[in-house]
């Protein structure tokens, strides 16, 4: 019963539009107090780990990992803890680690819908549609009414251009739960990730906000879409709105982006050429202004001729002198192992 009370309190926190209605710490205190008296309660540890995971700040993620790992140390055959660790890994784009955890979870329970749907989303995001379909089919055979699995399936229909199937699922899910903005958010993240259609991802994120104006993560996804279209001022507004809606809960990516957009990108110098709008750090400006614009224009001409396709202009290009700054600007967290992103 203690876990139900804590989960209900957290859910009530998100349902209330009043920033003062925050029972997050009280729920944590309730569960931690319960665990002092009943340290063997695995369910309480799982719920506590999930509450911390929903706080997408660095400390929240660390504490979520602590509780999930504690459960697995006591019993390695608890698949829900592995799903929690997989979702935590995905927060930092660690897909290999997430898939490993999900595979181990499904060894213990091949019918765990949360593991199957998370696995399906990863495969669809990577363009492996057949494996995604297979995992989704199994998840929905076990629980045909699972909202997350149906939303992921709708996202796949959207990506494949299967409009009627997408709209049918949208109608079903929203009739079942009219406030389920997560439906559009799941679609937005997969469309943005897989197709790089940030215009469509932005539209879907706005629909999520229409359905649930208090969905804190919807503003982050919208901000990401706007940033990738060069609309950094509006992106910053959305990230800050996400802060308000989160009732001061953390979000690693959102908070990094706010730092990037508010603190140091305003200090960048800007060059506009025929096809590009280029921003770069002041400390590299004096040298790079003589080389980077010519390189980009030359590359534009070569690639346009090669592929017979012209992108919308101006194309926004940001140059960074520190890899961590580049990583944060690209995906919201440091450590991205890439030299460039398109």
pLDDT exceeds cutoff 90 at 12 = no
- What secondary structure, in 3-state letters, does 56-92 show? ECHHHHHHHHHHHHHHHHHCCCCHHHHHHHHHHHHHC
- Tokens 């911390």 belong to residue: 52
Question: Is the pTM here over 0.85, yes or no?
Answer: no
pLDDT in tens, 225-260: 998 888 889 999 999 999 988 877 888 888 888 988
Model pLDDT for residues 162-203, shown as the tens digit of each residue = 999 999 999 999 999 999 999 999 999 898 866 778 899 999
Q: Residue 336's pLDDT band (boundaries 50, 70, 90)? A: low
Check: CB of residue 150 under 8 Å from CB of residue 177: no
The rounded distance, in Å, linking the Cα atoms of 73 and 237 is 43
pLDDT-derived band at 334 (thresholds 50, 70, 90) equals: low
Handedness of CA 110, 116, 120, 122 (dihedral sign): negative
Q: CB count, 10 Å around CB of 112?
A: 20
Strand partners, 279: 270, 318
Asked if 178 and 211 count as a contact pair (C-beta separation under 8 A), the reply is yes
Give yes or no for residue 61 having a pLDDT over 80.
yes
């Amino acid at each position: 019963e203690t876990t139900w009370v804590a989960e209900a309190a957290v859910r009530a926190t998100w349902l209330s539009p009043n920033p003062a209605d925050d029972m997050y710490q009280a729920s944590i205190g309730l569960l931690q107090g319960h665990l002092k008296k009943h340290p063997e309660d695995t369910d309480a540890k799982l719920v506590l780990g999930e509450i911390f995971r929903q706080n997408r700040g660095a400390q929240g993620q660390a504490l979520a990992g602590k509780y999930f790992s504690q459960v697995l140390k006591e019993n390695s055959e608890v698949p829900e803890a592995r799903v929690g660790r997989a979702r935590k890994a995905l927060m930092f784009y660690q897909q290999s680690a997430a898939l490993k955890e999900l595979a181990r979870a499904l060894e213990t329970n091949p019918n765990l819908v949360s593991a199957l749907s998370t696995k399906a989303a990863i495969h669809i995001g990577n363009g492996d549609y057949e494996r995604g379909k297979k995992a989704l089919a199994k998840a929905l055979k076990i629980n045909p009414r699972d909202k997350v699995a149906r939303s992921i399936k709708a996202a796949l229909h959207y990506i494949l251009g299967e409009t009627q199937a997408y709209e049918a699922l949208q109608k079903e899910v929203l009739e079942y739960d009219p406030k389920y903005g997560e439906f559009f958010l799941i679609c937005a993240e997969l469309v943005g990730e897989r197709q790089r259609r940030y215009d469509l991802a932005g539209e879907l994120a706005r629909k999520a906000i229409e359905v649930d104006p208090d969905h804190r993560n919807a503003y982050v996804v919208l901000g990401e879409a706007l940033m990738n279209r060069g609309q950094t001022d509006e992106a910053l507004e959305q990230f800050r709105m996400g802060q308000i809606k989160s009732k001061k809960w953390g979000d690693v990516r959102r908070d990094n982006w706010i730092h990037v957009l508010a603190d140091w990108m305003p200090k960048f110098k800007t060059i506009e050429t025929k096809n590009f709008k280029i921003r770069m750090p002041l400390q590299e400006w004096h040298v790079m202004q003589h080389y980077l614009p010519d390189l980009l224009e030359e590359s534009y001409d070569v690639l346009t001729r090669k592929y017979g396709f012209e992108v919308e202009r101006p194309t926004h290009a940001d140059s960074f002198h520190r890899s961590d700054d580049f990583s944060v600007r690209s995906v919201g967290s440091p450590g991205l192992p890439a030299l460039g992103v398109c």
